Amino acid sequence: MNYECPSVTVSLDDEALIIQSVEPMLAITSSVTGGGILPTRYILNMHVDKNYHCVSPADDLKSFAQSKGINESFHGFMTAVYLNKMKSATLHEQDITVTAFVTAGVSNATSAGISAPAYFAPGTINIILLVDANLTQAALVNAVITATEAKTASLQEKNIHTLDGLLATGTSTDAICVACTGRGKPTDYAGSATVVGWLMARAVRDCLASALV
């Protein structure tokens, strides 16, 4: 695992991936805690047992964060994937750096728009993207589209199917966070035709190529 940004530190152990920024990063996320578009200094992905079940996962995340000295808002994820299997990739182009951190379980694979709604089950793809650039809110939304397209393409390239034989587009509990440092001039777009979009999509593909084996 490597990450190159002087204002952001990344730690990883058996319990969690914890990302801490000196200055708040603007992020868009569908995380268990801290979802939406808002600034944050902390992002974490906590390991849980594959049989984990709790009425309020957010409370467990908050308790864990406090045990790590995090006493402010944060974006929190959960994964049953052992964190030594987490994949990361850092890519540079021009003055932009993108790092992806991905945990991937696909036992809960679904095909969006075809698979019926389902209750929570283990098997989640968590994608965290750190972007050393200044993305507008619109660009953050665009980034989620780009990363999701790359995720789905990766699943289909690996021929991942649902339990009933459908070609998978993701899992029913996938989550994502795209966070930017805010450095540099504002970037209004993050589609696949942009430099930042290309870097994000490539980083997601690189991580999933090694995670989905």
CATH topology of domain 8-211: L-amino peptidase D-ALA esterase/amidase (3.60.70)
Residue 38: band (very low, low, confident or very high) from pLDDT cuts 50, 70, 90:
very high
The mean predicted confidence, pLDDT, of the chain is 93
Show me where the domains of the chain are located: 8-211
Q: Select the more confidently predicted residue: 170 or 117.
A: 170
Average pLDDT estimate for 1-16: 83
End-to-end Cα distance, the chain: 19
Q: Which residues in 164-178 are b (16+ Cβ under 10 Å) and which e? A: eeeebbbbbbbbbbb
pTM beyond cutoff 0.85: yes
The distance of Cα 30 from the centroid of its chain, to the nearest Å, equals 9
On whether the CB atoms of residues 180 and 132 are closer than 8 A, the answer is yes
Whole-number pLDDT of residue 116: 85
Whole-number pLDDT of residue 198: 98
Whole-number pLDDT of residue 55: 79
